[in-house]
C-alpha cells in the first residue's frame, strides 16, 4: 500500500520495520559513548549544550559509566526532551538564548566544573564518525539512490553521512534541508564561507536552532554537500501531517527532509530522506496534526 501526495509515494510502514531495518534509536544515537574510551580525557563528568537528542544519548552513556552529566538546554526545549535527559539522571540547566548563547552558558558552567569534559553534539570527530554509521547503513540497504536528503542543524549528521560516502567511494548526491528561518548552511554554501544566524532561530525545528554549523562539519559540508534546501514552517507542518497519515510520528526537525521535497519538487526519481527523530511534545504535535494553519513554535 502506498500513499501518493501528489507525486511522493510512501509505503505503509510494516510493524517490524524498526526492528529489521533500523537500529534501535538509543543504539543508533549512543555514539556519545565513544567519549569514554579516550584515556586522555580524564574527565570527572561531561558538560554539553543540546536541544535534547544528543543530550539524551550522552546522559544515557554517562549513566552507564557512572559519570555525572550536565546538559544545558534552551528554555524553549520540548518538555519530552527535557524529561528524557533527566530520566538518565543528568542535571539539566536552562538557558534563555535571547539573553545568553548556549556556548556562553556552557563556558560559564565550565568555569565551576573545570574537570568536566565539554562535549559538542556535532562539532566533534567522534560524533561525526558515529553518525557515519547511518551513511554506511544507507549505502548497504538502498539501491543506488539518486540523492540522499538530510536535515541540518549543527551539521553532525550530514557530515557523518558525507564522510561515510567518501570512504565508501559512493557516487551519491547529498543534499541538506534546513528551516528557512535558520538558513546559515544554505547561505554558507552559496557564499563559500561559514556564516552564522543572527541569534538562535525561532523555528519549530528545535534541533536546527543552531547559530551555525560546526567548524569540522563545515569542512566536510563544503566539499561533499551539493545543495541545502530552505524549508518553510508551513512545509514542516505539512510533512509532519503527511507522515502522521501513514502512522509515523516525526518531530519538526525530522520532517525537514520531506518538507523540502514538498516545497522543492525534485527532478530525480529515487531519493532517500533521513528522518532524524520523533521527540516532540504531545500538545504541540496534536496541534500541528489537527490544525493545517499552525506554523509557529
Whether residues 46 and 142 fall in one domain: no
Quick one: 92 and 72 in the same domain?
A: yes
pLDDT in the model for residue 294? 60
One domain, residues 202 and 243: yes
The count of C-alpha atoms lying within 13 angstroms of the C-alpha of 232, restricted to the half-sphere facing its C-beta, is 9
pLDDT above 90 (res 218) = yes
Query: pTM value?
Result: 0.85
Range of the domain at 99: 26-119
pLDDT of residue 53: 84
Establish if 219 belongs to a structural domain: yes
Query: CA 135, 136, 140 angle in degrees (round to 5)?
Result: 120
* Ranges 148-162, 187-201, 206-220, 282-296: which has the least confidence: 282-296
93 and 222 housed in the same domain: no
In 3-state terms the chain splits into helix, strand, coil percentages (rounded to 5) of 45, 15, 40
Whether 158 shows a pLDDT value over 70: the answer reads: yes
Last residue of a domain, one of 119, 137, 170: 119
Q: Which residues pair with 148 in a beta bridge?
A: 174, 272
What is the phi/psi pair of residue 81, to 5°?
A: -75, -40
Average pLDDT over residues 244-269: 90
> In the predicted model, is pLDDT for residue 137 greater than 80?
yes
CATH number at residue 148: 3.40.50.1100
The number of distinct structural domains making up the chain is 2
Q: Which residue has the higher pLDDT, 8 or 156?
A: 156
Question: Are both 108 and 191 inside the same structural domain?
Answer: no
Mean pLDDT of 132-139: 90
Q: Report whether pLDDT(122) > 80.
A: yes
Q: Which of 119, 135, 157 delimits the end of a domain? A: 119
Domain end residue (candidates: 92, 119, 146)? 119
Q: What pLDDT score does 130 carry?
A: 87
Mean pLDDT of the 42-69 span: 89
Are both 101 and 147 inside the same structural domain? no
Amino acid 297: pLDDT:
57
Based on the fold, state whether residues 129 and 147 are members of the same structural domain. yes
Q: Are residues 237 and 150 in the same domain?
A: yes
Lowest mean pLDDT among 1-10, 84-93, 278-287: 1-10
Residue 271 has pLDDT above 50, yes or no: yes
- Apex CA 58: angle with CA 53 and CA 61, to 5°? 130
Whether 164 is covered by a domain: the verdict is yes
- Asked whether the predicted pLDDT for residue 41 surpasses 50, the reply is yes
pLDDT band at 180 (very low <50, low <70, confident <90, very high): very high
Same domain, 36 and 94: yes
Residues 141 and 281 occupy one common structural domain: yes
What is the C-alpha separation between 121 and 31, in angstroms, rounded?
A: 10
- Mean pLDDT over each residue of the chain, to the nearest integer: 84
129/206 same-domain check: yes
Residues 6+ apart with CB under 8 A from 58: 32, 35, 46, 48, 50, 69, 71, 90, 119
Amino acid at each position: 500500500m502506498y500513499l501518493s501526495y501528489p507525486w511522493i509515494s510512501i509505503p505503509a510502514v510494516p510493524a517490524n520495520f524498526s526492528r529489521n531495518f533500523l537500529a534501535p534509536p538509543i543504539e543508533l544515537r549512543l555514539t556519545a559513548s565513544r567519549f569514554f574510551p579516550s584515556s586522555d580525557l580524564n574527565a570527572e563528568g561531561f558538560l554539553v549544550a543540546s536541544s535534547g537528542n544528543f543530550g539524551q544519548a550522552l546522559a544515557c552513556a554517562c549513566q552507564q559509566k557512572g559519570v555525572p552529566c550536565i546538559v544545558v538546554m534552551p528554555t524553549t526545549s520540548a518538555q519530552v526532551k527535557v524529561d528524557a535527559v533527566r530520566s538518565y539522571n543528568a542535571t539539566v540547566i536552562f538557558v534563555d538564548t535571547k539573553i545568553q548563547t548556549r556556548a556562553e552558558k556552557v563556558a560559564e558552567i565550565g568555569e565551576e566544573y573545570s574537570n568536566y569534559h565539554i562535549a559538542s553534539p556535532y562539532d566533534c570527530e567522534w560524533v561525526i564518525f558515529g553518525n557515519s554509521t547511518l551513511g554506511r547503513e544507507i549505502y548497504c540497504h538502498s539501491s543506488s539512490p539518486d540523492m540522499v536528503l538530510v536535515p541540518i542543524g549543527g551539521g553532525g549528521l550530514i557530515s557523518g553521512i558525507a564522510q561515510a560516502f567518501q570512504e565508501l567511494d559512493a557516487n551519491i548526491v547529498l543534499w541538506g534541508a534546513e528551516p528557512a528561518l535558520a538558513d546559515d548552511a544554505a547561505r554558507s554554501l552559496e557564499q563559500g564561507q561559514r556564516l552564522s544566524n543572527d541569534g538562535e532561530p525561532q523555528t519549530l525545528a528545535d534541533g536546527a536552532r543552531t547559530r551555525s554549523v560546526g567548524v569540522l562539519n563545515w569542512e566536510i559540508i563544503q566539499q561533499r554537500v551539493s545543495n541545502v534546501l530552505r524549508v518553510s514552517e508551513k512545509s514542516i507542518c505539512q510533512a509532519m501531517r503527511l507522515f502522521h497519515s501513514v502512522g509515523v510520528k516525526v518531530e519538526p526537525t525530522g520532517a525537514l527532509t520531506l518538507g523540502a521535497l514538498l516545497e522543492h519538487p525534485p527532478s530525480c526519481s529515487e531519493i532517500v530522506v533521513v528522518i532524524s527523530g520523533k521527540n516532540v511534545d504531545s500538545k504541540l504535535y496534536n496541534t500541528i496534526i489537527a490544525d493545517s494553519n499552525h506554523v509557529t513554535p
